[in-house]
Chains A and B, each alone.
Chain A
Amino acid sequence: MTSAFIIQVQPQLQSDPNEEAAALLRVLIYKIDNTTFGNDVPTVPQWSGPPRTIVQVQSILYASLAASLLSAFLGMLRKQWLARYATTDIRGSAIERCQLRQWKFDGIIAWYFDRMIESSSQVLQIALLLLCCGLSLYLWEINTTVATVILAVTLFGALFYTFIVFAGAASVSCPYQTPGAHLLRHTYYLIHGMTSSAPYLIHRTFYLVHSMTSRAPGLIRHIPGLIRRIPGLIRRIPGLIHRILYLVHQTPAPVLTTLLSISNNSVCIGVLVNWRDELRMLRRSEGSALAFLVITLLLPILLTMCLVIDAYFLVRAMVKAFVAFALPRGQPYGASGPADTRLAMLDVRCISWILDTSLDKCVHLSTLNFLATIPPAFFDPELGLTCFNILVGCVSTVGDKVVVTQGSEILMDASALGFLHVLSHLATVDPTSRALTDARRRYTRIFPSKMSLEGFPSYHRFSILHNLLHPQARLKIQWEDYDPFGTGHVAIASLVQFRYRRVWPLKVPRWALHFALHYLSQNPLPPPPVVVDCLSIIAIDLGCAVPDIITTPAER
C-alpha cells in the first residue's frame, strides 16, 4: 500500500542528478566561450542535504503510512479472531460444542473484546490525521493558497471530532459515541471520585502527621534506651530458640503436619518438623560447644533465611491473587481443575447466560427445569436474583391474595423450584450474601406479610419461600399432601441453622418444625441427609449445640 505521494516527495531527499548535470553543462559552456553568462562564473553546486521541511513532511507521511499498514494488520487479526469465535469445533457432541461456545463467550467478556475491536479502528483515524498534517505542511512550502484549503478542511475535521468526543462524553445517550468519549467519561468519573474523597483523605493525612509529630520527641527520647537493649536481646536469642525447640517437641506430630498443610508447606515450619529428632538430640547435649554454636549462630541464620523464603512465596501468592482479581472481569476458567468440575461450572454458566439473554418463557422454562436437576455448586448470587425476578414476573398481588398471571403457572412452579435450589446452595455457602438480602428486600416490598395462599398452584413451594423471605411471615402451612421435592429441605435447614443457632431463647418458627416432623413421620423414611437436616432443625429448637453446617452440598 505504498503511497504515490511519498514516491513523489521521495526524490527531494536525495540530490537531483539532473540539476547536477545542468550545472556541469553550464560550466562546460563557460569554458568554451567566456561570454554566454556574462560576468557570473557558474560553479558546480554542493548538495547540502535535503531541506528541513521536506524531512519533516516525509517523517509525518511515513508515520501515516505505517499507521495505516498497522490498521490493516489489526483488521486482519480481527477477522481471524471473529472467525475463530464463529467457527464451532468439529469434535465433540452438540452439548460439548455449546459448552465450548459459552467458554469462548465468557472469554470475550473477560478480555474486553468489544473495547479492543472498537479501539483498533482508531489507528486508521490517526493515520488520516497524520496524512492531513503532512499534506498541509508540504503544500504550505509550495503554494500557500492551496495549502489553506487543505488546512481549513483538516481543522474543521479535527474540531468536529473534538466536539463529538466531548458531546459523547457529556451524554451517554448521545449517538455520536467514540472510544475517546468512553475513555474521557471514565477518567472524569475517576477524578470526580478522587476529588470528592480528597478532603477526607487530606484531613486524615493531616491528623496522622500531626499525631506523629506530636509524639516524635517522646520516641526520640526512647531511642538510646532501645539501642542499649539490643545486646540484651541478642543474648536472649539462644533462650528463645530453646523455647521454640521445646514447643516443637511438645507439640504432637499430627498438629505439626496440619500446621504445615495449612501454611501451604511453609519452609520455616518444614525445617522444624523435619529436623525434629536432630533438634531434640541437640537440646539434650546442651553443654557442648557444638550445640551452643549451632543453637546460637546457625539455627537463627537458617530460620531467618527460611522466613525470607516464606515471605517471598507469600508475597508472590498475594501478587498472583491480586493480578487474578484485578485483571479480567470474571476469570475464564482455565484448564485447571478436574474435568467434571469444569463441566458443572460450564453448565451453570450456560444457564446464567441464557436466563440473562433470553426473554422467551419457553426458554426460561426448560432452563429452569434443567437448573433444578443439577447438583448445587457454583451458583452465583446473580443467578438466584434472576430466578427470583422470573418468579416475581409470574405473580401479582390483589389485596392480600396472590394470583398467577394467566398461562405462567408452570413457569412459576419451575422458577420457585429453581430459586429454592439456588437458595439452598447460597444459604449453605454464604448466608449473608447480597443476593439473599436483595431478594428479601424486594420480596418484602412486593408482597404483604399476611396473605392467603388457599388454592394457589404450587402452594408448598411458594409458602416455604414466603416464610423464608419475609421477615414477619408466620404462615401456617398445611403439610398433608406435601410432595417432597428437590433440595427445598436444604434451604430450610441451612437458613434455620444460620438464623436460630446461636440465639437460643428465640424459637425456631413453627412451620419449620412442622416441616421437619412431617418429613420424619413418613413411612419409608427419607434419605439420611434429609433426616439429618430435620433432626438438626429440631435440635436447634431445643437449644442443643449443633455443629457447624453439617454436610457440604455435594455430599447431600
Chain B
Amino acid sequence: MLGNGSGGEQPKAIPPTREDHRTRFYQVYRSEADEYDREFVKRYEEDLNTTLVFVSFFYISRVWWMR
C-alpha cells in the first residue's frame, strides 16, 4: 500500500527526481486541502445561515407583532 510513493523498487528504475516528489506531494496536498476547506467553509456557512434565519425571524416577528 505504501510502496507507490517512493518508487525505485523495481530494478533499473530511474529514481524519482525532486520534481516528481513535488508533483506527487501537491496532488496529495490538493485533495487533503479540498476536503478540509469544504468542511471549513461549510461550517461557517451554516453558522451564517443560522444568523440570517435569526435576523429574518426577528424582523418578521416585529412586523407581525404590530399588525
Please give the residue numbers on chain A whose beta carbons come within 8 Å of chain B beta carbons, in ascending order: 1, 3-5, 7-8, 68, 71-72, 75, 78-79, 82, 85-86, 94-95, 97-98, 101-102, 105, 117, 121, 124, 127-128, 131, 347, 350-351, 354, 357-358, 361-363, 365-367, 369-370, 372-374, 407-408, 410-411, 414
Chain B residue contacts of A78, Cβ below 8 A: 44, 48
The one of A3, A357, A358, A370 that contacts B22, using a Cβ cutoff of 8 Å: A370
Q: How far is the CA of A175 from the CA of B37 in the complex (A)?
A: 24
Q: How far is the CA of A5 from the CA of B18 in the complex (A)?
A: 68
Chain A residue contacts of B23, Cβ below 8 A: 95
- State whether A4 touches B25 (Cβ < 8 A): no
- Could you mark each residue 54-67 of chain B with 1 if its beta carbon is under 8 Å from any beta carbon of chain A, else 0? 11001100110111
- State whether A124 touches B54 (Cβ < 8 A): yes
Q: B64: nearest residue on chain A (CB-CB)?
A: A4
- State whether B37 touches A101 (Cβ < 8 A): yes
- State whether A94 touches B26 (Cβ < 8 A): yes
Q: How far is the CA of A437 from the CA of B25 in the complex (A)?
A: 30
Chain B residue contacts of A408, Cβ below 8 A: 2
- State whether B62 touches A411 (Cβ < 8 A): no
User: In the complex where A75-B52, A78-B44, A124-B51 touch, is A365 in contact with B5 (Cβ < 8 A)?
Assistant: yes
- State whether A71 touches B55 (Cβ < 8 A): yes
Q: Is the interface of B mostly helix, strand, loop or mixed?
A: helix
User: In the complex where A78-B44, A98-B30, A117-B47 touch, is A124 in contact with B55 (Cβ < 8 A)?
Assistant: yes
The one of A75, A357, A372, A410 that contacts B32, using a Cβ cutoff of 8 Å: A357
Q: How far is the CA of A407 from the CA of B2 in the complex (A)?
A: 8
Q: Is the interface of A mostly helix, strand, loop or mixed?
A: helix
- State whether B1 touches A366 (Cβ < 8 A): no
B38 to chain A, nearest CB (A): 9
Chain A residue contacts of B47, Cβ below 8 A: 117, 121
Chain A residue contacts of B2, Cβ below 8 A: 361-362, 365, 407-408, 410-411
The one of A131, A363, A366 that contacts B21, using a Cβ cutoff of 8 Å: A366
Chain B residue contacts of A86, Cβ below 8 A: 37, 41
- State whether A82 touches B25 (Cβ < 8 A): no
User: In the complex where A72-B55, A78-B44 touch, is A370 in contact with B32 (Cβ < 8 A)?
Assistant: no
Q: How far is the CA of A346 from the CA of B8 in the complex (A)?
A: 28
Chain A residue contacts of B59, Cβ below 8 A: 1, 3, 68
- Could you say which of B5, B22, B44, B59 has the most chain A C-beta atoms within 10 Å of its C-beta? B5
- State whether A4 touches B62 (Cβ < 8 A): yes
A506 to chain B, nearest CB (A): 39
Interface residues of B in 1-16 (CB under 8 A from A): 1-6, 16
Q: A410: nearest residue on chain B (CB-CB)?
A: B2
Q: How far is the CA of A370 from the CA of B17 in the complex (A)?
A: 10
Q: How far is the CA of A54 from the CA of B1 in the complex (A)?
A: 75
Chain B residue contacts of A362, Cβ below 8 A: 1-2, 4-5, 28
Chain B residue contacts of A124, Cβ below 8 A: 51, 54-55, 58
Chain A residue contacts of B41, Cβ below 8 A: 82, 85-86
